[in-house]
Every structure is written in C-alpha cells, then in structure tokens.
Structure 1
Amino acid sequence: MTVSLEQLRRCHVAVDLGAARTRVFVKGAGLVVDEPSVAAVNTRTGALIAVGEFAEKMTGRTPDYIRVARPVSGGTVVDVEMAQRMLRHLLGEKLRRQLRRKPLLRAAATTPHDSDPLAQRATIETLVGLGARRVELVDTLIAAAVGCGLPVEEPTATMILVCGAATTQVAVLSLGSIVTAERIPVGGNAIDHAVIQYLRHQHELMLPSQSVRPLQLALHGTGLTPDGPASTEIHGRDVATGLARSVVVETAAVRQALHTPLTAVLDGIGKVLRDCPPDLVADLVDGGITMVGGSARLPGLDELLRDATGMPVRIAESPDTCAVLGLGAMLDGRIQPLTLNPLAEAE
C-alpha cells in the first residue's frame, strides 16, 4: 500500500469509498461526486432504481421487491458488482465518457488502515471495472491528514482522528508516514445505535426512520454539550401499541448513554499514545488532535476528548471531505516530498 507522490501525480481520478458517503475527485474538475453510498435495486428484475441521496431517502420506506443496498461497510467494499453500478450512475454518462478518453486511466483510492489484502483487492476490482488500468491505494489516515492541512511531511508529530460511520481510526504521523495507529470498530453508527437503544429501553419509543441520524434528531445539534438544552421532545412510535407518541428526554441522560461507545474511542487514543515515542508525544502537547470525518461534528465529542486527554482538540474546517481532498492535492502535485539529504544538494 506504499505509493509515491510521483505515482499519484499520474492518476486522473481519486475515489473515497466510505460507509456513509462516496466522493470522487477528478483532476482538473475538483470534487464531482459527494453522495451517500446507497443503491436501491428491484429484486424482481435486478434493475437499479436509484442511487445516492434519493436511494437513502427510500430506506425503511420500500415495498418488499425493492432492496436498499449499502455496498461499502467500514470503508471496505463488500459487494463489488453493486459498488461498480453505484459508482457508474453517480459519475454520470458525460463524466464517464471524458474518463474513457484517457488512454491509460489511473485511479487512486483510500483504504482503511491495516485493511486486509482481500479488502484492498475489492477496492481495486471496483475501480478496474469502471475502466481504470491501474489503481493506487493510499491510507485514509495520510490522505485525511493532507486534506486538513497538517504538516505531514515535517519531522514533527501530528495526531489525527478519523471519525467514520462504522470505524474510528487514530494515528500519529511524522515524516510522511504513520508512526503508530489504531483502528477502533466504533463509529457514528454505533453512537446512533446507542441513542436508539436508550430511547427503546427507557422510553419504549422507536424513532421513525434509520435514514435520519437519530442523534441529531434527538439533540437538535446542541444537546451533547453541557450548555445545550436540558431536555428535548422526540417524536416516534410506541413499541407496545405502534401508535405515534412524543416523549421529553433529558439530554444529560443521553450523554450518559453515549458513554460506552465513546469509551472505546478513548481507549484507542490511549493505546496509540502509549505506543508512540516520548519525543513525538511531547510534540502533541502543542499540536493536539485534529478530528476529521462525518462524525467529527458530533456535538460535545471534541470537549470529551479534550477533557480525557488534556490535549488541545480541533475539528478540521471541512471534516467530511478531508480524505478525498487530500488525495486530490496529491494528484494535483500540491504536496512536495521532504528532502531527506539537503547536504548533498549543497555540494
């Protein structure tokens, strides 16, 4: 999975296949696709009905003969054929025609840290099926660090936390490489599930649809912070009767319900820091942790990490698109490699 910047500069398209969203960057055109990684299929005919935003709205609202599929799970392609069909429709005929004009189409794709060879092969086959003659794989942690402007190539430590839908990845980077990293099987979906379980067990209430982020629905964007509202009203379906019902939920109780999944993230950060050399840990006192990913905007998560680690924590300017924009910067040649032997040039 080691790839040079020179190889990446030869690529024409960069793809970030995430469990929540799929993003495509084309050299010279910028970010052209940013849609949910969802496809709706007619099981009777096998025809693709919808992809992206419209397919996600169909989740939980379809008849029996329509299946809403998610071909990507945890940053890994689990259904190659469906992922190819989804990408083909997301790109559109006009863009695919432009890419086919490339005599030797090269593509770059992000892959989770420590992904197994089968998962890497599935990503490569997905892009080869779309016409790519060569596919370069880049670690999501490095791509996200480049995308949020961290000095990855410098001989100083930078710590990044990629908060995905299915997994959370944390790493310490220095000199353009990963010094130590950890992949935690807890992400935004687990946090949402914790809220769903809390409402079901404590209030016997089911939320209307899993396509709506239940955490944001319950907390209105501010409930996880101590300064947010003390309570909020939630509409859902009664577990026993099946009728519509509203309950008033204390946000302090919801914060307690999220303690279990977030504890696993804190444990992963602690393991990375313990495995990191002391000199690099000293650098992190000033640099702190940079959060990226769709779940990085979870209200109060940055405060929780700040209190638990004692280090400064900041959220990237565009946390959702850092990984694909980092790949795009590598494709455009905006990232220069560090000169490791400057004395030779002086001679």
Structure 2
Amino acid sequence: MTVSLELLRRCHFAVDMGAARTRVYVKGAGLVVDQPSVVAVNTRTGGLIAVGEFAEKMTGKTPGYIRVQRPISGGTIVDIEMAQRMLRHLLGDKMRRTLRRKPRLRAAACTPHDADPLAQRATIETLVGLGARRVELVDTLIAAAVGCGLPVERPEATMIMVCGAAATQVAVLSLGSIVTAERIPVGGEAVDHAIVQHLRHRHELMLPSQAVRPLQLALSGNGLTPHGPASTEIHGRDVATGLARSVHVDTAAVRDAIQTPLTAVLDGIGKVLRDCPPDLVADLADRGIMMVGGSALLPGLDQMLRQATGIPVHIAERPDVCAVQGLGAMLEGRIDPLLLDPLAA
C-alpha cells in the first residue's frame, strides 16, 4: 500500500472532510461525527450560530445578518479557520479534551485523488490547528476501497468509484496501489443543479434547496430507468409571480436532465478502462465496479452504469461512510500489510 500502515496505526483520529459531510473516526471509539459540512455565521459578530444538520436546515431561510456557508468546496478546504471552528464544535468539548490528553497527537485525513499541494496543505493546517502534531494523508480511493472490504492488497484488479458531492473519482487498484485513476468534476451537486435548471426552464418553477433530494427519491425504485413512476408532484415558487405553485413533473424528462451531467462520468470510466492493462480489465469483467459515496445512492445510477459498461456494478453496504471506515480500519490495525520478501541470492 502506498501509505505506510505503520504510521497510520500510530494515529489517534481520522477525518474525512467532504463537500457534503464531515466525518470523524476516533481510535477506540469509532465514528463519532457524521454531520453536513455547513456552518451558520453571524456576520455582525463573526460568531458561529450553528453547525452541521441545524445549519443545513437554515439554508435559504436566514435573515440578512446570518450567512450559511460551506468551508469545503469541490472536496478542498477553502476556509481553514472556519473549517477548524466547525470541527471543534462538531467534536464537542469532551472529545477534544480526550484527544488533547494524547501524547504527540497524530491524525489521518482523506484527500481527493491528485489533490494539488495547496489542497493537501490546507488539510494539514486544519488538523494542526486542532492540536495534531503530525498528519498522515491517505488517498480517498484507497481508504474507500479498504472501507468497503475490497481485496486491495491482492495481485488482481479491483475497480472503485467514489461518487461525491463535488466530484466522482474512479480507479483500478492492484497490490495496494492505484494502477490508473480519473477524477471527474461531476458529482451529486451537478445532478441537483441539472434538476433545478430543468424545472426552471421547462416549468418556470424555482425549487427550494431542501426539495431537490426528495425529488430524486421520487424517482425511487427504478430511478433512472424507464420503469420508474410516470410523474410526481413538486412544490416550488413561480418564477414570474413569486407565488407558491405545484406542478406535475414528467419523470422521463427529469431522467434525461440527470443523464446529461452523468455522461462525463461515463467518459471518465471509459478512460480508466482504456488506460488499464488488459490482464486487469479481464479481472474486472467478473468483479465489476464497486460504488461508494453518498451520490452512489442515486436511484438507478447502478443500472445506468451497468448498461453503459457491460460489466457488473455493485453498491457498498454503507457507501456514504466507506472512506472514513477504511481510515478507521487502518488506525485500528485491522489491515495486514503486503509483505514482498526479496528473493534469496
């Protein structure tokens, strides 16, 4: 494995800071934080009013002096100070005191594939501000593969697809390392935006920010396939009059709108397969693709990928927490390192 398992075993806690949710795993305690990466700030005083789920519920409903913001954008920390304040509040005083008692506190963190040095530095500085003396960075693809139980250490191909809010990462792994990978700047947020724009242009309806996800769930069951429900009722605001209005939305048209941004994801998968050695591609014909990440739960996405690629597609048991659970398994020492003994002369 490209990251040192010995160094990770010395870490005391692990953080997966994503564009949608922040998760913290503490050694010996398990997953202690799983909250939206959102803060509500009083612009008059600079104080935090809310973090996590309560702050997310405030989106679009605040008076002028309260600003709801996300310190993480595109999978990268864009406001280090606000990210530190958010983490402090999410951890709570009791857990922070417990961590501060650790001699030479060490932390591990997920970083997107091919993250630039500035993004890596922002992650390190955020955790150093929480008291960490050393920070180990782990590629999200490897952490997620470990978290969903893929045999990443074996000399055979495993393909993983991390469906995040801001981006989708696809990779083929073998012998504990990434053989070929691609990061596509299309994620769950792009799908949400496509739905909002479709309703605005086709029905002249502005959709509240909290209503996008229920609309996706309304496609339930077969979701992106033609066998889903024919129509569903959506409540929003009329673009012209500003009054509340309800419309019956043709789900087939919504499926077409969703598939437009997902075309880039299919292109990325095709590029990874083209760059992969033929022997590993042969393994993938049987093993298929493992989908993780919160956007992997988009109804019907797995069927769409299966039809486009012709190889099996599976969704992890708990796709949203695979990355942080993989970090936790490394911290707890549940992953055995691959030993390649040199041949005797």
CA displacement at 1:215 relative to structure 2: 4.1
Kept in 1: contact 2:24–2:324 (CA 8 A)? yes
Partner residue, 2:161: 161
Aligned residues: 345
RMSD: 1.6
- Alpha-carbon distance change, 138 to 50 in structure 1, aligned in 2, over 3 angstroms: same
Partner residue, 1:118: 118
CA displacement at 1:340 relative to structure 2: 1.6
Q: Report matched runs for 1:139-218 at 5 Å.
A: 139-210=139-210, 212-213=212-213, 215-216=215-216
Kept in 1: contact 2:144–2:323 (CA 8 A)? yes
Residue 238 of structure 1 aligns to which amino acid in structure 2? D
State the Cα deviation string for residues 210-252 of structure 1 (Å, max 9, x = none).
5752642653565433332111111111111111111111111
Kept in 1: contact 2:225–2:304 (CA 8 A)? no
Look up the SS of the partner of 2:256 in the other structure.
Answer: helix
Partner residue, 2:290: 290
- Provide the C-alpha distance between the structure 1 equivalents of 2:212 and 2:200, rounded to a whole number of angstroms: 16
Partner residue, 1:275: 275
- Provide the C-alpha distance between the structure 1 equivalents of 2:130 and 2:64, rounded to a whole number of angstroms: 30
Kept in 2: contact 1:57–1:211 (CA 8 A)? no
TM-score (norm 1): 0.96
CA displacement at 1:337 relative to structure 2: 1.2
Partner residue, 2:41: 41
Kept in 2: contact 1:192–1:214 (CA 8 A)? no
In structure 2, runs of 5+ residues without a counterpart are none
Kept in 2: contact 1:186–1:261 (CA 8 A)? yes
Partner residue, 1:224: 224
Look up the SS of the partner of 1:311 in the other structure.
Answer: coil
Kept in 2: contact 1:3–1:138 (CA 8 A)? yes
Partner residue, 1:310: 310
State the Cα deviation string for residues 171-230 of structure 1 (Å, max 9, x = none).
000000000000000000000110101101001111123575264265356543333211
Kept in 2: contact 1:195–1:214 (CA 8 A)? no
CA displacement at 1:320 relative to structure 2: 0.2
State the Cα deviation string for residues 101-136 of structure 1 (Å, max 9, x = none).
011000000000000000000000000000000000
- Provide the C-alpha distance between the structure 2 equivalents of 1:63 and 1:141, rounded to a whole number of angstroms: 40
In structure 1, runs of 5+ residues without a counterpart are none
Residue 101 of structure 1 aligns to which amino acid in structure 2? R
CA displacement at 1:3 relative to structure 2: 2.6
Partner residue, 2:264: 264
Residue 51 of structure 2 aligns to which amino acid in structure 1? V
Kept in 2: contact 1:218–1:234 (CA 8 A)? no
- Provide the C-alpha distance between the structure 1 equivalents of 2:225 and 2:277, rounded to a whole number of angstroms: 33
- Alpha-carbon distance change, 182 to 115 in structure 1, aligned in 2, over 3 angstroms: same
- Alpha-carbon distance change, 111 to 335 in structure 1, aligned in 2, over 3 angstroms: same
Partner residue, 1:102: 102
